[in-house]
């Protein structure tokens, strides 16, 4: 029986999913992030220490782009969008309406505007 490294197993699982998600959002598989980039992005997101997370809230989603209630993991598609990088330094905290969310500020708004314009 052949033994596969963690990266090889990850590649065998992730590559078909990247192709499928790229087909769904109208991009070609060749424009999908590499497995290595996806793996490093996933580990960077899980070990993320930047930004601020308020009590009762948590960063969730495949790319850390969702600010939700702590303890309630939210699943999202693992399709990278440039604007997700803006949330790495954003504040995920309780908003005035009682829900967790990203606290808007000039830096976040500017980053999102620039990333979406690309």
**Which pLDDT score, from 0 to 100, does residue 9 have?**
55
Total domains in the chain come to 2
Tell me, yes or no, whether 73 and 113 share the same domain.
Answer: yes
Say yes or no: 96 and 63 in one domain: yes
Which structural domain, as residue segments, surrounds residue 82? 50-118
Residue with tokens 């989603």: 61
**Same domain as 54, residue 40:** no
CA distances from residue 3 to 8, 9, 39 in whole angstroms, order as listed: 10, 10, 20
| pLDDT score at 34 | 38
pLDDT in tens, 85-111: 999 999 999 999 999 999 999 999 999
pLDDT tens across 12-49, in order?
Answer: 555 444 444 433 333 333 433 433 344 334 434 443 44
56 and 114 belong to one structural domain: yes
């Amino acid at each position: 029986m052949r033994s596969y490294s963690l990266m090889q197993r990850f590649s065998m699982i992730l590559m078909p999913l990247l192709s499928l998600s790229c087909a769904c959002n109208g991009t070609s598989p060749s424009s999908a992030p590499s497995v290595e980039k996806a793996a490093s992005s996933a580990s960077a997101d899980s070990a993320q220490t930047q930004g601020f997370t308020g009590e009762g809230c948590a960063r969730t989603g495949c790319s850390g782009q969702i600010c939700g209630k702590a303890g309630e993991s939210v699943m999202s598609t693992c399709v990278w969008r440039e604007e997700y990088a803006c949330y790495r330094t954003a504040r995920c905290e309780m908003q005035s309406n009682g829900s967790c969310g990203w606290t808007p500020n000039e830096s976040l708004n500017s980053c999102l505007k620039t990333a979406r314009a690309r």
